[in-house]
Structure 1
Amino acid sequence: MLILFLAYSIFQSAKSEAGPILASIELRDVGPCDGQNSQRSLASLVWSCLSTIFLCTWVAVHPNVHFRPEKQDQRRIEKWLRDPLHEVVTYKLPIFLLALLVPEYILAWAIRQFLQAGVISRKVPGWTRTHGYFMIMGGFHLFRLPADAPSVPIPHESSESSEFVVPSGRHSRKEEVPVCPLTFEDVPVDILEIIVPTETELRDRGKSDALTKLIVLVQTLWFVAQCIARGTQRLPLTELEVVTLAYTTINLFIYTFWWDKPQNVECPIRVYKTPMANEEKTGEKVEEWSRTRVLRWAQRIFKYTIGSQDDRVTISEEPSVPMFWAGRPDERVLFVAGFRPSILGAAFGAIHCVAWLSEFPSRAELILWRISCVAMMSVPFLVIITCVLGVIDRRMEGKTPMWINVTFGICAILLLPSSLLYAASRMTTLVIAFTTLRSLPPAALTDVDWTTFIPHV
């Protein structure tokens, strides 16, 4: 909300400095529509778009559990100011900026988690997709009990004792030592059936319910309905409205895939082991990054682009699950999660073409807008080709034809400049969406006449 407030304040300040210009825009004669349509103010237009974009980039994101152990003897200024501010700047703000610049990546992340949560839920009797989400997002964290804390081992179905225990006596929870987040492979299925809460209890841990999500969806759908209504009455959309329309379209898919995922969970469920338990963990076969700095950065860009960065993470060494962790999905999940968002990403760029023939204040802004639209439609197809070639290369197991290897290498090399081009195009459209507000056509401030949609004689 602070970002929206600052943007609104800056806009109001700019409006007061350019009072005569804006006043002439708002009071200009709009022809035959004056008798039927009311006028909307520039301030209300900007506020409607900014609030909708905020819902699509901040509120709609369902982050993983970013667990932070409690500190002993913490001062109030650290507890109530420094730590929350540090959390926003280092964790929530990067996700927000990525959702603002590359919303397709957030969609790909949501699809990876959706598919992987379904895979996990089918492996445990009685589990739902919400359970799968909670496991993937770092909802279970391993703790070590104090040496003198009494505990009872949790038996397997074979009646053998396991390394996982349940505390059976009094001890201070502050003395428990956090170890690492747990993956599905780390805990036997029969133990998961015992320690995992019900779906209702898991949903209760989230900071959002179905009603809140429904309100956000209604708000975004209402904005889409307004844009459609303006099109039917041949009223122009401002570039800011076109940008917002693109966000709302992709936000509907993000919310659909994350509907069952608990939102903004901060504290995981504690799973215990004794201090003498074995430290070895299952499912920890990870690939290593290259030691060469340039090659390592190229690998990171490639892995994060196709969504396979989880293969390089040693989860037992992490204090919480990584920001875009999706539980090491297999090739099929990676392909689907890379292919579909890229198609929708191309559609996201195509929506900006609604303003292709709009009136721009200058020819430079018109050319930059069109170039950005073409770039945002073209770059996702490069990701599609890379994902397809990557899957083929893995399945061929060393028998891949040379031309596929060469094409795959070229696409992988082009991912870096193309990703920079895409980010620059997104920033360009955002900037132009605001600069064009200085000179709007009169009809752009004409409101929709909703009475024309009501059947009457």
Structure 2
Amino acid sequence: MQAAPTTNPNFTSDGSAASSCANYRTLWSIVLTCALTVFACTYSAIHPNIPSPKDSPVRVLLLHLGIMVAALLVPELLAVWALRQWLWARHISTEFRKHFSVHYAWTQTHSFFALMGGFMLYVDGEPYHILLPDHLLDLIRAGSIDVPTLTAKQIRDRSKGNAISKGLIILQVAWFILQLISRAIYHLETTQLEVGTLAFAVLNFITYAVWWNKPLGVQCSHPVYWKSTKAKLAEVCFDKYVYTPINSTPADYVPLSASENDDLEISIEIVAVSLVDSVVRLIGINVMSPRKLQVPTCDSGNVKLERQESNVLTLVGLFMGTIFGGIHCTAWFYPFPTYQEQVLWRVSAIYITFTQWFHLLVYLLFIPKTEKKKTLRLSFIVMFPGILLYVTARVIIFTLMLTTLRNLRPGAFETVSWAYLLPHL
């Protein structure tokens, strides 16, 4: 196994070698490889909740594209979202297994399916309300509905993804990481585009691992029919949110679980969820409000973690952001077309690496945690500028990943020939 030859070939304006040597790559191959990997880490890795039966295909597509854009700007949030669902799915599985015991094989796939809005209550043959996991279990216990006769195999059959399709995505990501490692071993230049793509690839492994058992691309919920029992339909409470229109600002939207006991300390997880909701609401997107026939896109209120799990999840999210930004910092001494672009990259990389820890410090030291409304308001006022700066830094880095391709040195086109012999897309 040897490194690529150090003799520089004659390169054309598009970065392609004049010779047909297999140890060199073109600018197009660099862009295509990174584009496929980023696509795998965003669009293909997203496991959205089931849409409402009233949503048009265009609305469903636009929602998926919107989540994809969010994954490009803040990919660590996608990984945290997946981990949050995985933690809550474990709780759901435990509760349902206690109830069903040996009569029904409830799996983690069932839990994910219920969490993403997989069970719809039908009344008189019409969809009435989506059933969250706790609703589903309560109604089964009350005898208001029958136990859904849906096996894990049937749920997987509804999914648009399987072990083979997901395995191909992981194969592409693993190959991309391996070939970058080989370039580092043989001291070959790596482009800024590849560094940015590597950051997506690392977080993608976490997302795919925790969402492995979650169905992908399910479009229709499983019908569960209301039975005539002593329980009255009007007495069933489906609302899991309250709205506190104090100043009619996005920061005044609070999950019910956070406002039931106003004397208790509000967790940083709830603050983070509310801040994210506030930001996306300002641009006219509502992903956390409940709908009668659909769970929230980012299921904030129907995920109720224990305090310890919530704190651990928050710390994991902070470390994910640090890892994501730290990977960009590895391009600190890379060649840039201009000095100004190098400074912009360095400043932006440092900011996205450490800003979340600064926000945590501000929250712990200066923001009271006893009054829910005051906590959310102050958090929004203090941290919102930092969130805008973070998004700006991500846009700058994403732009530089592309603009720096205009002036690559010949060493960036050399490659390790054996790396391309491995299977990849």
TM-score by length of 1: 0.73
Contact kept, 8 Å, 1:131 with 1:199, in 2: the verdict is: yes
Structure 2 vs 1, CA of residues 390 and 199 (structure 1 numbering), >3 Å: closer, same or farther? farther
> Do structure 1's residue 130 and structure 2's residue 109 form an aligned pair?
yes
Equivalent residue for 1:336? 312
Equivalent residue for 1:84? 57
Q: Choose between structure 1 and 2: higher helix proportion.
A: 1
What is the Cα deviation at residue 39 of structure 1?
A: 1.1
Contact kept, 8 Å, 2:12 with 2:18, in 1: the verdict is: no
Contact kept, 8 Å, 2:89 with 2:112, in 1: the verdict is: yes
| Segment of structure 1 superposing worse, 344-353 or 185-194 | 185-194
Equivalent residue for 2:402? 434
- Please list, as runs of the form range in 1=range in 2, the aligned pairs for 1:38-187 lying within 5 A after superposition: 38-69=23-54, 83-89=56-62, 91-125=63-97, 126-145=105-124, 176-187=125-136
What is the Cα deviation at residue 254 of structure 1?
A: 0.5
3-state DSSP class of the match of 1:141? strand
Query: How many Å separate the matches in 2 of 1:300 and 1:47?
Result: 43
**Greater CA radius of gyration, 1 or 2?**
1
Structure 2 vs 1, CA of residues 211 and 22 (structure 1 numbering), >3 Å: closer, same or farther? same
Q: Counterpart of 1:23 in structure 2: which amino acid?
A: S
What is the Cα deviation at residue 68 of structure 1?
A: 1.8
Structure 2 vs 1, CA of residues 66 and 249 (structure 1 numbering), >3 Å: closer, same or farther? same
3-state DSSP class of the match of 2:147? helix
Structure 2 vs 1, CA of residues 371 and 411 (structure 1 numbering), >3 Å: closer, same or farther? farther
Query: How many Å separate the matches in 2 of 1:387 and 1:132?
Result: 33
What is the Cα deviation at residue 411 of structure 1?
A: 5.3
Query: How many Å separate the matches in 1 of 2:34 and 2:111?
Result: 35
3-state DSSP class of the match of 1:63? coil
Structure 2 vs 1, CA of residues 303 and 340 (structure 1 numbering), >3 Å: closer, same or farther? closer
What is the Cα deviation at residue 333 of structure 1?
A: 3.6
Query: How many Å separate the matches in 1 of 2:222 and 2:188?
Result: 53
Query: How many Å separate the matches in 2 of 1:219 and 1:268?
Result: 31
What is the Cα deviation at residue 413 of structure 1?
A: 3.1
What is the Cα deviation at residue 259 of structure 1?
A: 0.6
Aligned residue among 13, 38, 56 for 1:23:
13
Structure 2 vs 1, CA of residues 445 and 392 (structure 1 numbering), >3 Å: closer, same or farther? same
CA deviations over 1:39-87 (Å, ceiling 9, x no partner)? 10100110000111001010001000112248xxxxxxxxxxxx42332
Unmatched runs of 5 consecutive residues or more in structure 2 = 1-9, 98-104, 256-267, 278-286
Aligned residue among 296, 300, 307 for 2:273:
307
Q: Counterpart of 2:58 in structure 1: which amino acid?
A: L
Equivalent residue for 2:340? 364
> Do structure 1's residue 418 and structure 2's residue 418 form an aligned pair?
no
Query: How many Å separate the matches in 1 of 2:38 and 2:71?
Result: 10
Contact kept, 8 Å, 2:243 with 2:253, in 1: the verdict is: no
Structure 2 vs 1, CA of residues 387 and 194 (structure 1 numbering), >3 Å: closer, same or farther? farther
Structure 2 vs 1, CA of residues 410 and 381 (structure 1 numbering), >3 Å: closer, same or farther? farther
CA deviations over 1:229-271 (Å, ceiling 9, x no partner)? 0000000110000010000000000001101101111000111
Query: How many Å separate the matches in 1 of 2:89 and 2:405?
Result: 44
What is the Cα deviation at residue 378 of structure 1?
A: 1.5
What is the Cα deviation at residue 202 of structure 1?
A: 1.4
Structure 2 vs 1, CA of residues 68 and 387 (structure 1 numbering), >3 Å: closer, same or farther? farther
Q: Counterpart of 1:253 in structure 2: which amino acid?
A: I
Aligned residue among 299, 316, 319 for 1:325:
299
What is the Cα deviation at residue 314 of structure 1?
A: 7.2
Aligned residue among 220, 224, 246 for 1:271:
224
Equivalent residue for 2:163? 210
Structure 2 vs 1, CA of residues 363 and 443 (structure 1 numbering), >3 Å: closer, same or farther? same
Aligned residue among 324, 339, 357 for 1:381:
357
Equivalent residue for 1:258? 211
What is the Cα deviation at residue 38 of structure 1?
A: 1.5
**RMSD (CA atoms):** 3.5
CA deviations over 1:84-139 (Å, ceiling 9, x no partner)? 233212x1111010111111111111111000000010011232211111111000
Contact kept, 8 Å, 2:269 with 2:310, in 1: the verdict is: no
Contact kept, 8 Å, 2:199 with 2:324, in 1: the verdict is: yes
Query: How many Å separate the matches in 1 of 2:113 and 2:192?
Result: 39
Unmatched runs of 5 consecutive residues or more in structure 1 = 1-19, 71-82, 146-175
Contact kept, 8 Å, 1:335 with 1:388, in 2: the verdict is: no
Q: Counterpart of 1:319 in structure 2: which amino acid?
A: L
3-state DSSP class of the match of 1:204? helix
Q: Counterpart of 1:51 in structure 2: which amino acid?
A: L
Query: How many Å separate the matches in 1 of 2:77 and 2:180?
Result: 25
Query: How many Å separate the matches in 2 of 1:94 and 1:350?
Result: 26
Contact kept, 8 Å, 2:113 with 2:215, in 1: the verdict is: yes
The number of residue pairs the alignment matches comes to 374
Query: How many Å separate the matches in 2 of 1:332 and 1:211?
Result: 36
Contact kept, 8 Å, 1:144 with 1:178, in 2: the verdict is: yes
